[in-house]
Amino acid sequence: MANKIYFITGGARSGKSAFAEQLATDIAGKRAYLATAQALDAEMVARIEHHRKRRGSAWDTYEEPLAVAELFRKLAGRYQVVLLDCVTLWLSNIMARSEKDDGILSRVDDLITALKAFGGTCIVVSNEVGLGIVPDNALARRFRDLAGILNQKIARSADNAYFLAAGIPMKIK
């Protein structure tokens, strides 16, 4: 199977994950779900459980908050489809460890290299965080800016890109 990258973005609760999961389900082959969320509080535990139940047993799930590119390399050849949900949580996980911007952008480039080399279908979910007001603090502005750069880089590398609003997917690439 030829390598193909899908980029799925949109706002919070826009339907990104459900759309990405359906897209993956429509592709033949063994599927893996690469989750970057960490169950750090009761609300995140509930969100993670909701996603697990919706996916059912047709997926192998890997939880990896940081070493995402490395995991893609390990999964290459074992799966036809890997869904990464989501890269903005991955970004916040990295930022929480006080990594500098150049190190973060290097990780983004490494992830793109791993996606391109995967050999199957990669579906990447990300939040679009740049459509609102300018955040009132430096950390939030840094996150917004890095997320915007991350989204641009992955979208440029993707074969197809979708923006979701109110549960409606719009193909943008």
CA dist 60 to 6, 11, 38, 90, 126, Å?
19, 26, 17, 19, 20
Can you give the residue range of the structural domain that contains 26?
A: 4-171
How far apart are the C-alpha atoms of 86 and 34, rounded to whole Å?
8
pLDDT value of position 58: 84
Do 32 and 64 contact (CB within 8 A), yes or no? no
DSSP category for residue 171: E
Q: Which of 11, 39, 21, 26 is nearest to 164 (CA)?
A: 11
Q: Domain total for the chain?
A: 1
pLDDT value of position 120: 96
pLDDT value of position 62: 94
pLDDT value of position 2: 67
pTM assigned to the model: 0.93
Structure token digits, residue 138: 């430096």
Reading the chain (173 residues) residue by residue, the pLDDT tens digits are 568 999 999 998 899 999 999 999 999 999 999 999 887 788 877 877 877 777 778 899 999 999 999 999 999 999 999 999 999 999 999 999 988 999 999 999 999 999 999 999 999 999 999 898 898 999 999 999 999 999 999 999 999 999 999 999 999 99
Q: What is the CATH number of the domain that holds 10?
A: 3.40.50.300
Q: Which helix (H) or strand (E) holds 31?
A: strand 31-35
Residue corresponding to tokens 């993670």: 48
Residue 99 CA, chain-centre distance (Å), reads 19
User: For residue 140, which amino acid is it?
Assistant: A
Rg (CA), the chain: 15
Do 143 and 96 contact (CB within 8 A), yes or no? no
What proportions of the chain, in percent to the nearest 5, are helix, strand and coil? 45, 25, 30
Structure token digits, residue 77: 């050849």
Please list the active-site residues: 51
